[in-house]
RNA sequence: UGGGUCGUCGCCAAGCGGUAAGGCACGGGGUUUUGAUCUCCGCAUACCAAGGUUCGAAUCCUUGCGACCCAGCCA
């Protein structure tokens, strides 16, 4: 397995830290535990889009394999046809690849249905599984509670031949959905509820997105997963903490069947990110009930959403490495993710000027018929990224925020009678503020100092630098400013997580003007709009004659306003 | 109060018996034609608590306390 070529590959300075799984693998390698092999897999169920929590697992699984010259498969855990779909499957493949990973083999648990069935027959023959006719309700009652042991089903000691016959007839479609199940015969008194004769096959007449109507019975996760791992020769089966209690079952199934490989299941804590949720059920609800505009809404913590918002694969990988791998319940602050994307974008995105909320400035002493092409560098620290020509003319647009009639303390932008530098251009001075009937500022009259292009004015210091565009030459654009989707750090704490939704998570600015060089910007291309943030040209929406930009993240702002 | 797991700085996280790495955040200097970047400095006598073992403990033992997960024919 490797990092795909079309993505920025992992650079050596992407620091890798120690974690307990790396230790285990290193130790296994040292002891030649699997003949020196490291084989992992990423096993999503295609019942939703991948999210940032999956990214953690993807980076871990593919990462461990890559670091150790091993393999990593993508395997769809598609054993519940009622919730799964081709759309989800395709989105998952797309997202894993976009993140920069390339699987060794692509598998589907459904490819193993026939083998799985065969193993089940074997279990029955060993007297280790039986067909049970208890209803779901009865089974729940028989299961016992956390503190009391369960009761054995009347069918538990059904003769092997009878279970075998029943199981064949289950497959043949002789029984209704839910009429009977196949159960592993383990221990109804086990303190671990998962070991109280878990169901391993249920009858479900549902169309499967891959096997169609070939089957009317489907294997359960616990039974399927371990065998699939074994079949693929997985050495380290990495999963999240909630499966810790299932490990004895994982091991039990493989022990009974004496499969060639017996992978080691290792559990790690799932990602919890402040102000977001990573429950596929809830994300699905946000989409279905239209609280967001689809799985790829830039506010969604999905890979597709992050991508559309302008996040890079590298930043997400960096994030996954930084947060570490442990078994501890932990909450990651948003600032970590934001730091990662800012770092990547700061280094790699070209700078450009865009005025989000324009204020007109007429430069009175600038010739009306003149246009200058000012050469401005695309990146202050990386001259190799080149320069562009930005037209300058008599009427320019600046940000409304960059002018203040009553400036707060330490304000260093434009004020009445004050001077400010137009980035890459001249120093201007404001002489007159023009307002409409309602007292709103509509225009500023300024003059420019002709001797300040590329040099500081003589005898005085101009501290402020603001961005601008030429009114005549600029392009109309829409900016979508995204904030956090939730207003609370842990939406799951609420009775209803929807109550934690942030009503102001999207602000649309539709009268923006961006510099002319953006005319041929490609969808998904990322820029730093100087002084306002990082933006990405939207890949989906097309507004007639207008460029649509999604704000990925703001620039850090250390200015202490009052 | 059955079973499983976890408790090191505001948030992550190294550490595995030899005397508390690192990152994010935060605070403060410097550079800067982005209040960005960059850079320098500061930031746990302390590792859930209490006992014990040891020359020496975050690391070993004991007992507490706190948190999370499990009673789907979901994964």
Q: Check which CATH number belongs to the domain holding A544 and give it.
A: 2.40.240.10
Q: Decide: CB of A559 under 7 A of nucleic strand B.
A: yes
Residues A125 and A266 in one domain: yes
Question: Is A13 within the bounds of a domain?
Answer: no
Residue where one domain finishes, among candidates A427, A456, A473: A473
* E strand or H helix at A376: strand A372-377
Instruction: Give the Cα separation of A289 and A496 in Å (integer).
Output: 14
Q: Tokens 């059904």 sit at which residue?
A: A158
Tell me if A361 sits within 8 A of A398, measured CB to CB. Answer: yes
Question: Is A229 within the bounds of a domain?
Answer: yes
Please tell me whether residue A517 adopts helix, strand or coil conformation.
helix
Question: Is A86 within the bounds of a domain?
Answer: yes
Residues A371 and A313 in one domain: no
Residues 302-361 of A with CB under 7 A from strand B: 322-333, 335-336, 338-339, 342-343, 346, 351
Residue where one domain finishes, among candidates A452, A473, A494: A473
Instruction: Give the Cα separation of A300 and A308 in Å (integer).
Output: 10
Residues A294 and A233 in one domain: no
Residues A204 and A62 in one domain: yes
Q: Decide: CB of A192 under 7 A of nucleic strand B.
A: yes
Residues A265 and A295 in one domain: no
Residues A489 and A524 in one domain: yes
Q: What is the pLDDT along chain A (562 residues), one digit of tens a residue?
A: 333 333 333 333 344 789 999 999 999 999 999 999 999 999 999 999 999 999 999 999 999 999 999 999 999 999 999 999 999 999 999 999 999 999 999 999 999 999 999 999 999 999 999 999 999 999 999 999 999 999 999 999 999 999 999 999 999 999 999 999 999 999 999 999 999 999 999 999 999 999 999 999 999 999 999 999 999 999 999 999 999 999 999 999 999 998 889 999 999 999 999 999 999 999 999 999 999 999 999 999 999 999 999 999 999 999 999 999 999 999 999 999 999 999 999 999 999 999 999 999 999 999 999 999 999 999 999 999 999 999 999 999 999 999 999 999 999 999 999 999 999 999 999 999 999 999 999 999 999 999 999 999 988 999 999 999 999 999 999 999 999 999 999 999 999 999 999 999 999 999 999 999 999 999 999 999 999 999 999 999 988 889 999 999 999 999 876 5
Residues A86 and A151 in one domain: yes
**Cβ count near A186 (within 10 Å):** 20
Residues A186 and A240 in one domain: yes
Residues 129-148 of A with CB under 7 A from strand B: 134-136, 139-140, 143, 145-147
Helix then strand then coil, % of chain A, to nearest 5? 30, 25, 45
Residues A60 and A92 in one domain: yes
Give the nucleotide with minimal C1' distance to the Cα of A225: B75
Question: Is A5 within the bounds of a domain?
Answer: no
Residue where one domain finishes, among candidates A420, A438, A473: A473
- The pTM of the full predicted model, rounded to 2 decimals, is 0.96
Domain containing A530 equals 280-348+477-554
Q: What angle do CA A544, A546, A548 make, to 5 degrees?
A: 115
Tell me if A87 sits within 8 A of A121, measured CB to CB. Answer: no
Number of domains in chain A: 3
A307 CB-side CA count, 13 A = 21
Residues A194 and A332 in one domain: no
Residues A90 and A204 in one domain: yes
A527 Cβ contact list (under 8 Å, min separation 6): A349, A350, A351, A352, A354, A518, A521, A534, A535, A536, A537, A549
Question: Is A10 within the bounds of a domain?
Answer: no
Q: State which nucleotides on strand B lie below 7 Å from a protein beta carbon.
A: 1-8, 10-16, 21-25, 27, 32-38, 67-75
Residues A371 and A243 in one domain: no
Give the pLDDT of residue A562. 54
CATH code, A169: 3.40.50.620
Q: Is A45 a catalytic residue?
A: yes
């Amino acid at each position: 397995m490797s990092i795909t070529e079309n993505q920025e590959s992992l650079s050596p300075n992407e620091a890798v830290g120690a974690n307990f799984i790396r230790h285990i693998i290193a130790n296994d390698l040292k002891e030649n535990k699997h003949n020196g092999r490291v084989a992992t897999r990423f096993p999503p169920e295609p019942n939703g889009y991948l999210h940032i929590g999956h990214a953690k697992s993807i980076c871990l699984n593919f990462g461990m394999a890559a670091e150790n010259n091993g393999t990593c498969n993508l395997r769809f855990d598609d054993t519940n046809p009622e919730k799964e779909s081709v759309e989800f499957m395709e989105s998952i493949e797309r997202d894993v690849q976009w993140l920069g990973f390339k699987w060794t083999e692509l598998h589907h648990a459904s490819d193993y249905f026939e083998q799985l069935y065969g193993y089940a027959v074997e279990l029955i023959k060993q007297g280790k599984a039986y067909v049970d006719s208890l209803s779901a309700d009865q089974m729940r009652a028989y299961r016992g509670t956390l503190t009391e042991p369960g009761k054995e089903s009347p069918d538990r000691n059904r003769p092997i031949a009878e279970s075998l016959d029943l199981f064949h007839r289950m497959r043949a479609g002789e029984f209704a959905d839910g009429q009977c199940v196949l159960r592993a015969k383990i221990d109804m008194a086990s303190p671990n509820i998962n070991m109280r004769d878990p169901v391993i096959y249920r009858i479900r007449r549902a169309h499967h997105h891959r096997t169609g109507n070939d089957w009317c019975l489907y294997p359960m996760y616990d039974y399927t997963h371990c065998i699939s791992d074994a079949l693929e020769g997985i050495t380290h089966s990495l999963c999240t903490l909630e499966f810790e209690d299932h490990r004895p079952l994982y091991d039990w199934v493989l022990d009974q069947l004496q499969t060639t490989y017996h992978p080691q299941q290792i559990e790690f804590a799932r990602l919890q990110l402040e102000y977001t949720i990573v429950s596929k059920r809830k994300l699905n609800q946000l989409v279905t009930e239209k609280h967001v505009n689809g799985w790829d809404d830039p506010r969604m913590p999905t890979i597709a959403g992050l991508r559309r918002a302008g996040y890079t694969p590298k930043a997400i990988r960096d994030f996954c490495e930084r947060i570490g791998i442990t078994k501890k319940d932990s909450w990651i602050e948003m600032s970590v993710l934001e730091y990662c994307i800012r770092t990547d974008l700061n280094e790699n995105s070209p700078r450009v000027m865009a005025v989000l909320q324009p204020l007109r400035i007429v430069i009175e002493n600038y010739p009306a018929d003149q246009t200058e092409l000012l050469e401005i560098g695309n990146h202050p620290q990386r001259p190799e990224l080149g320069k562009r020509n930005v037209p300058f003319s008599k009427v320019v647009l600046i940000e409304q925020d960059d002018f203040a009639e009553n400036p707060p303390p330490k304000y260093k932008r434009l004020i009445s009678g004050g001077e400010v530098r137009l980035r890459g251009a001249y120093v201007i001075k404001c002489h007159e503020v023009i307002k409409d009937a309602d007292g709103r500022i509509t225009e500023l009259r300024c003059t420019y100092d002709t001797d300040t292009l590329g040099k500081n004015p003589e005898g005085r210091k101009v501290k402020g630098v603001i961005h601008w565009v030429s009114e005549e030459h600029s392009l109309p654009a829409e900016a979508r400013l995204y904030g956090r989707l939730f207003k609370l750090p842990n939406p799951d704490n609420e009775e209803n997580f929807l109550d934690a939704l942030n009503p102001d998570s999207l602000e649309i600015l539709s009268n923006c003007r961006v510099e002319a060089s953006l005319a041929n910007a490609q969808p998904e291309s990322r820029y730093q709009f100087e002084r306002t943030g990082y933006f990405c040209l939207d890949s989906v929406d097309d507004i007639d004659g207008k460029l649509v930009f999604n704000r990925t993240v703001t620039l850090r702002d250390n200015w202490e306003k009052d």
